[in-house]
């Protein structure tokens, strides 16, 4: 299984199908050649969130087109592929199996290595596509729908978790607040749009929990505070200013992430900070993290917004790391609904 000849700048196809995006991308070395995303979000929006069965069916219909388009856009033929990288977890099982089975068949037929990618490691690897010079060590702010953590990436394959959330993830909190404010799915971008029109003048509790052992975040208290604020106003017959609620929530959710990420970088002496995951597409986070990094002369590497939310370019980027480490997957590898961060 590990007898493949390792190339210098391999051509890698990445496939992602863990949630509601069917995505395919091609890289040559660290250069991104193409990235295609076919989303079932509009269909899912009718149900207010992702329906797993609908996601699986949508992937089945879209995966072939996504891969063909990615190859065409990259100007690469199937025969030129040196490896196929695919998300094997975490995510919705049925959805993952569509991409994984497709990738297995392709790798098997082409006689190239199959690389099984942990979706979260994909989010971390997205930064490599933004800056070809980026190399460890650095600090990463990871904020997605399932994870919120500050990591110290020490080598291409190893990181230490410096802090994480005790309960909800930041993205989950954005989605819940969107529901409280009757905003449609997907919640995060809609909360951001509303927040841009409001003032952060409601003192919601910040999502930071401190103890001597670890640096932790908590989003359940913030979410409850937003619910209570809206319900109390409703009971009093007062109209809430949804724009101000969104802006105040956004600050309470994001300010601690930015502050602590930079504090961690200063503490460990890291000269570079990166970010990844859907919440890293948030403009307020991007602006405040940039300002804070500039203040301390820390280099910030932010993936483009489209590579913060789910995509296959990041899966191909992590695929390259695993390819270089000769970490290839057996053909009987199964999809995993949950994979611990560490
Ligand atoms: O990384 P991602 O696409 O999927 C997961 O792996 O979870 O992250 C999705 C999460 C959702 O909770 C979504 O509401 C949030 O990222 N998100 C945002 C923004 N765009 C996506 N949250 C705040 N502001 C945004 N602009
Ligand atoms: Zn994701």
pLDDT at position 341, please?
Answer: 82
pLDDT at position 41, please?
Answer: 86
pLDDT at position 48, please?
Answer: 83
Alpha carbon of 186 to ligand 2 centroid (Å):
13
Same structural domain, 144 and 293: yes
Same structural domain, 42 and 122: yes
Same structural domain, 157 and 273: yes
The residue whose CA is least distant from atom 13 of ligand 1 is 188
Tokens (6 digits) for 195:
């927040």
Q: Does residue 1 fall inside a structural domain?
A: no
Alpha carbon distance 53, 173 (integer Å): 24
Instruction: Tell me, letter by letter, the H, E, C secondary structure of 148-172.
Output: EEEEEECCCCCEEEEEEECCCCHHH
Q: Does residue 237 fall inside a structural domain?
A: yes
CB atoms under 10 Å from CB of 132, counted, come to 10
Sequence-separated (6 or more) residues with CB below 8 Å from residue 133:
none
Tokens (6 digits) for 149:
């953590």
Same structural domain, 159 and 107: no
pLDDT at position 210, please?
Answer: 64
Same structural domain, 262 and 117: no
pLDDT at position 45, please?
Answer: 84
What is the tally of structural domains in the chain? 2
Q: Is-contact 36 70, C-beta < 8 A?
A: yes
Q: Does residue 339 fall inside a structural domain?
A: no
Alpha carbon of 82 to ligand 1 centroid (Å):
31
Sequence-separated (6 or more) residues with CB below 8 Å from residue 46:
none
Q: Is-contact 285 311, C-beta < 8 A?
A: no
83-89 vs 11-16, strand pairing mode: parallel
Q: Does residue 341 fall inside a structural domain?
A: no
Mutate to test the pocket of ligand 1, among 17, 122, 145 (most ligand atoms within 8 A of CB): 145
Same structural domain, 68 and 120: yes
Tokens (6 digits) for 253:
């959710």
Quote the domain boundaries for residue 171: 135-304
**Ligand 1 shell residues, CB under 6 Å:** 123, 144-146, 171-172, 174-175, 186-189, 192, 277-279, 281-282, 309-310
Same structural domain, 63 and 109: yes
Sequence-separated (6 or more) residues with CB below 8 Å from residue 135:
156
Q: Does residue 5 fall inside a structural domain?
A: no
For 100: left if phi > 0, alpha if psi spans -120 to 50, otherwise beta; the answer is alpha
In degrees, rounded to 5, the angle at the alpha carbon of residue 192 between the alpha carbons of residues 190 and 196 is 120
Residuewise pLDDT in 10s, the chain (342 residues): 568 989 999 999 999 999 999 999 999 999 999 999 999 888 888 888 899 999 999 999 999 999 999 999 999 999 999 999 999 999 999 999 999 999 999 999 999 999 999 999 999 999 999 999 999 999 999 999 999 999 999 999 999 999 999 999 999 999 999 999 999 988 999 999 999 999 999 999 987 766 545 688 999 999 999 999 999 999 999 999 999 999 999 999 999 999 999 999 999 999 999 999 999 999 999 999 999 999 999 999 999 999 999 999 999 999 999 999 999 999 999 999 999 887
Same structural domain, 164 and 270: yes
Q: Does residue 255 fall inside a structural domain?
A: yes
Mutate to test the pocket of ligand 1, among 119, 192, 196, 278 (most ligand atoms within 8 A of CB): 278
Sequence-separated (6 or more) residues with CB below 8 Å from residue 190:
178, 183, 184
Alpha carbon distance 148, 165 (integer Å): 6
Same structural domain, 183 and 58: no
Give the domain CATH number at 16: 3.30.420.40
Ligand 1 atom closest to the CA of 171, numbered from 1: 12
Same structural domain, 185 and 152: yes
pLDDT at position 252, please?
Answer: 96
Q: Does residue 75 fall inside a structural domain?
A: yes
Same structural domain, 21 and 94: yes
Q: Does residue 254 fall inside a structural domain?
A: yes
Alpha carbon distance 325, 241 (integer Å): 53
Chain-centroid distance of CA 298 in Å reads 22
Ligand 1 atom closest to the CA of 284, numbered from 1: 24
Same structural domain, 225 and 87: no
């Amino acid at each position: 299984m590990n007898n493949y000849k390792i190339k210098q700048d391999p051509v890698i196809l990445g496939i992602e199908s863990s949630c509601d995006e069917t995505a395919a991308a091609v890289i040559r070395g660290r250069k991104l050649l193409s990235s295609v995303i076919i989303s079932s979000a509009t269909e899912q929006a009718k149900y207010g969130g992702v329906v797993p069965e609908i996601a699986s069916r949508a992937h089945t219909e879209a995966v072939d087109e996504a891969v063909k388009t990615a190859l065409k856009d990259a100007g690469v033929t199937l025969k030129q592929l040196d490896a196929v990288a695919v998300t094997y977890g975490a995510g919705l099982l049925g959805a993952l199996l569509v991409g994984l089975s497709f990738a297995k068949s392709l790798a098997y037929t082409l006689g190239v290595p199959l690389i099984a990618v942990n979706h979260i490691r994909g989010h971390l690897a997205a930064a490599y596509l933004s800056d070809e010079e980026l190399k460890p060590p650095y600090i990463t702010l990871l904020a997605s729908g399932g994870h919120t953590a500050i990591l110290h990436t020490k080598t291409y394959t190893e990181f230490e978790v410096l802090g994480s959330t005790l309960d909800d993830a930041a993205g989950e909190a954005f989605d819940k607040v969107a529901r409280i404010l009757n905003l449609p799915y997907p919640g995060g971008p809609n909360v951001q749009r509303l927040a841009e029109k409001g003032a952060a003048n409601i003192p919601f509790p910040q999502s930071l929990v401190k103890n001597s052992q670890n640096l932790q975040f908590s989003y359940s208290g913030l979410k409850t505070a937003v619910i209570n604020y809206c319900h109390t106003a409703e009971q009093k017959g007062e109209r809430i200013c949804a724009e101000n609620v969104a802006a105040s929530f956004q600050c309470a959710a994001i300010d601690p992430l930015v502050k602590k990420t930079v504090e961690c970088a200063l503490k460990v002496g890291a000269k570079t900070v990166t970010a990844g995951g859907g919440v890293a597409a948030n403009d307020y986070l991007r602006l405040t993290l940039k300002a804070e990094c500039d203040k301390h002369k820390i280099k910030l590497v932010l993936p483009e917004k489209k590579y913060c939310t789910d995509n296959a370019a990041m899966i191909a980027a992590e695929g390259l790391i695993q390819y270089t480490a000769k970490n290839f997957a057996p053909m009987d590898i199964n999809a995993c609904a949950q994979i611990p961060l560490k």
